[in-house]
């Protein structure tokens, strides 16, 4: 009976302190809460490997039962009240810190003979064992939290609409998985008997019910604001917990113009050569339009660069909406664009006229006049057989259009 009471007190104190620190996150910052999680992570792992009490249904450890289950519950609370991008921060910190602990322990062996102090001799076997357990625990925690959030979100769209039931089912399923794998690690590293597996599993399910109730009371009493509405897929949760979405956004931004979001000059050089080679292999046509905004300098001079940037964006959007499928639009530089389209010269001329008219029909409220563009066109293989020559011919055609009065389309001269 004393063992049950001790675990209950352990869980109550843990919940009160962790909840109080979490409650003050907006004034003290989340760093305080994260540091508390990190401190508890070491004690939790140590107790889970060495400290067990015997109950009628088996051996259990307060570190594994109370502290780990509580940590998962507070991580889930962190996700519910903040986001997956906030929740992932302490996970990576814990994993990096544990790996660093092992690395520094290995380096300390280079010191050779250490001073012999009574009662304070270093135990590197303990450091190695704890470091390995904490790294394994952090990796399992990472997997657990991905599964926890995915299950929690899936339950919200199916059988468990209420937060308490969603939390309990999510925690129970994830803790069952974790108990199996963490026990295997403890069994092989520390020789923990099988009674610890069954006793720990029963205790963790009970702890999941306890912490689900605690989280529900906390949300009802201390943070009664409506919970953020989310309908995230498993892929979205995984992306946010692993930073994959940031990598994908970075890849997407590389080679794009910051102002318009269009592909930039470097992308034109690469994609243009590829498209021309593909056209040559398949005996197809390819046309390049060089598009320049007429009298753009006067916009910057009279209205400023902010208005000028807005004009560039608006015209870029108009061209992008008009270019049709299969064509690639680039910002060539300044107020000039390049458009590659898989069409022969007659079709490209018709498309260019359509683009010119669409731009001229635009209204710019901040200006006293409409804006127009001049367009020069060169086609492969009619005017050039290399991409660099195609650019030269289209650029020369653009200057012909501007010299002829602007707001017009001009084809390149025959080679």
Q: Which of the residues are catalytic? A: 335
Contacts with 229 (C-beta within 8 Å, 6 or more apart), sequence order? none
Bridge partners for 54 per DSSP: 59
Answer whether the bond into residue 381 is a cis peptide, omega within 30°: yes
For 407, other C-beta atoms within 10 Å of its C-beta total 19
Contacts with 262 (C-beta within 8 Å, 6 or more apart), sequence order? 256, 316, 320, 329, 330, 331, 337
SS3 (DSSP) at 203: helix
Least Cα distance to 134 among 185, 59, 177, 69 occurs for: 185
Phi, psi of 114, rounded to the nearest 5 degrees: -95, 160
Phi, psi of 292, rounded to the nearest 5 degrees: -125, 135
- DSSP string for 361-374: H---TTSSS---EE
For 77, other C-beta atoms within 10 Å of its C-beta total 21
């Amino acid at each position: 009976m004393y063992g049950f009471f001790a675990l209950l007190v352990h869980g109550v104190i843990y919940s009160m302190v962790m909840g109080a620190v979490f409650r003050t996150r907006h004034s003290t910052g989340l760093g305080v809460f994260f540091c508390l999680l990190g401190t508890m992570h070491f004690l939790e792992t140590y107790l889970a490997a060495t400290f067990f009490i015997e109950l009628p249904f088996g051996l259990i450890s307060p570190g594994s039962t109370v502290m780990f289950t509580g940590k998962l519950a507070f991580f889930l609370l962190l996700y519910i009240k903040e986001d997956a991008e906030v929740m992932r921060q302490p996970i990576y910190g814990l994993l990096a810190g544990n790996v660093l602990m092992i690395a520094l322990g290995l380096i300390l062996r280079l010191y050779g003979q250490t001073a012999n102090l009574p009662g304070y001799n270093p135990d590197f076997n303990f450091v190695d064992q704890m470091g390995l357990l904490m790294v394994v625990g952090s990796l399992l925690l990472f997997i657990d939290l991905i599964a926890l959030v995915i299950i929690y979100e899936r339950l919200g769209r199916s059988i468990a609409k209420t937060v308490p039931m969603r939390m309990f089912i999510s925690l129970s399923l994830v803790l069952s998985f974790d108990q199996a794998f963490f026990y295997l690690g403890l069994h092989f590293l520390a020789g923990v008997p099988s009674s610890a597996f069954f006793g720990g599993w029963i205790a963790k399910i009970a702890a999941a019910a306890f912490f689900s109730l605690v989280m529900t009371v906390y949300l009802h009493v201390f943070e009664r604001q409506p919970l953020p509405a989310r309908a995230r897929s498993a892929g979205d949760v995984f992306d946010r917990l692993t930073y994959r979405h940031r990598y994908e956004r970075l890849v997407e931004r590389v080679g794009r113009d910051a102002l318009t979001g269009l592909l930039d000059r470097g992308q034109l050089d690469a994609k243009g050569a590829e498209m021309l080679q593909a056209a040559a292999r398949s005996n197809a046509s390819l046309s390049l339009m060089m598009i320049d905004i007429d009298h753009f300098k006067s916009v910057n001079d009279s209205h400023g660069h902010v208005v000028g940037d807005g004009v560039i964006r608006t015209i870029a959007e108009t061209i992008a909406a008009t270019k049709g499928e299969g064509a690639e639009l680039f910002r060539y530089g300044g107020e000039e664009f390049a458009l590659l389209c898989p069409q022969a010269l007659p079709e490209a001329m018709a498309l260019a006229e359509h683009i010119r008219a669409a731009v001229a029909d635009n209204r710019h409220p901040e200006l006293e006049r409409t804006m127009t563009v001049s367009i020069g066109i060169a086609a492969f293989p009619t005017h050039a057989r290399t991409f660099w020559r195609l650019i030269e011919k289209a650029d020369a055609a653009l200057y012909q259009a501007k010299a002829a009065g602007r707001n017009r389309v001009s084809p390149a001269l025959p080679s």
